[in-house]
Each structure stands twice: as structure tokens, then as C-alpha cells.
Amino acid sequence: MDSKKAAGEKAAEYVKNGMKIGLGTGSTVYWTIVKLGEMVKEGLRIEAIPTSEQTEKLAIELGIPLFKPYPSMKKLDLTIDGADEVSSDVNLIKGGGGALLREKMLASYSSVFITVVDHSKCVSELGHFPLPVEVAKFGWELTSIQIARLGCAPTLRMANGAPFITDNGNYLLDCPFDTITNPAEMTVKLNRIPGVAENGLFVNMTNILIVGRADGMVRIH
Ligand code: 5RP
């Protein structure tokens, strides 16, 4: 079995009747969403908020009931999402799929945040994967210069020959830092820069980590 499928499907076991959940974005949580679609057809009652337009489309196709955040909304019971890197102390780099802003909002509004990855995502320290940072289009070059002062050479993410636009109408800068030894400090430094909407470091947010292996088994932390 595919290791992403193994991790993604395992996470669906944590979803129970009546839950309000956040649905992440990417090829690992895809398997969670497909499984949830099957469970909904078999009678599971849930309501979900997607973290991207891509996930919204998939959830609608699968018949998963959706809702939008509203002012009196209590915390979500659970959010399940993938990651691009997971450190040994279970901090994450996310945003490879460009959905990091909504992903971080829903993760922080959830009582439980489950991260699903295949084993290749596990590293000792974060930073090998270029850190995605979502920035306002206006003055993005200036924002990029300020981010570079923190020790990287940001590149503007492109798609089909044009700048990649996030679901929130922003640009993305991919920031190769090599090693991020203090992700908590880095996240504060990045988010202090005017023009930064959010960065892809998820520090101390994961409650349950599910790592899929090539033989279809999973490790749960
Ligand atoms: C999207 C993300 C994804 O969760 C991350 O890129 C992992 O994706 P995949 O499961 O396809 O490897 O952060 O913004």
C-alpha cells in the first residue's frame, strides 16, 4: 500500500459522528478525505471546513457536508492535514501546496490537530524544504528583501509562467533556510515583517502525528 494512503486513511479513524472538522490540502490528506467520503455515504454525520479551493471541490464531489466559519463558531473538534517536513520534536513546515494560511487558521481553531505524512517527510531539523511564506502582492519585492535578512534567498513561486496566486489572492515566497534551529523564534520574526500574511512553520501545533510506511503500516506519535 502507498505510504501516504496508509497515513491518510488511518487518520479517518479519529473522525466520529457529529464532529466539526477541518480538511487539509495535499496528496496525503486526499486519502483521508476519500475515506471520509465513503464513511459519509455509510451514514457518518460530520460537517467540514476545507483549507483550500482544491479540497473544497474534492469534498463536494464526495458528498461531504461543508460549512464556513461563522462568528459564534466554537472550536473545530479536529483538523487533519499533511506536511512537507516534520522535525523530531514534531514541528512542521507546510505550504508546499500553497494553502498554509487557511491551514494554520484551522489548525489553531481545532481541539485536536492530526498531521499525516509518509516517512520521507521526517527530518531531524526543519529547513531543508524551502519554507513557504505567503505575502501581499503589493510591494512583495520589499517584503522579500526583509525576509532575506533572516538568512535565505527567497524566490517567488511561479505556476504556468506567472506568479502563483494563493486562494487568498496573495503571492508565495519559497525561502530556503538550510536549517531552522529555532522555529518558534523564526515564526515570530517572519510574521513581524509588514507584508507577510503567514509563514509555513507550524510550531507545537500537532497533537497526533501519523507516519505512513511503504509496507502500509503506520507509526503514531
Ligand atoms: C499544502 C500543504 C500540504 O499539506 C503539504 O504540502 C503536504 O502535501 P502532500 O501530502 O501532497 O505531500 O501544506 O499547503
Q: Candidates 80, 84, 166: which one to mutate for ligand 1, based on the most atoms within 8 Å of Cβ?
A: 84
Interval 27-85: pLDDT, tens? 999 999 999 999 999 999 999 999 999 999 999 999 999 999 888 888 999 999 999 99
Q: Which atom of ligand 1 is nearest to the CA of 99?
A: 14
Q: Is the ipTM of this complex over 0.85?
A: yes
Q: What is the pTM of this model?
A: 0.96
H or E element: which one contains 188? Answer: helix 183-191
Domains of the chain: 3-121+203-214 (3.40.50.1360), 131-195 (3.30.70.260)
In this predicted model, what pLDDT tens digit does every residue of 113-153 receive, in sequence order? 999 999 999 999 999 999 999 999 999 999 999 999 999 99
Percent of the residues in the chain that have a pLDDT greater than 70, as a whole number: 100
Nearest atom of ligand 1 to the alpha carbon of 29 = 10
Report the alpha-carbon distance of residue 212 to residue 217 in Å, rounded.
Answer: 6
Return the residue whose CA atom lies nearest to atom 6 of ligand 1. 96
Please give the positions annotated as active site. 103
Whether residue 94 has its Cβ less than 6 Å from ligand 1: yes
Q: How far is CA 72 from CA 46, 68, 69, 81, 101, in A?
A: 18, 12, 9, 24, 21
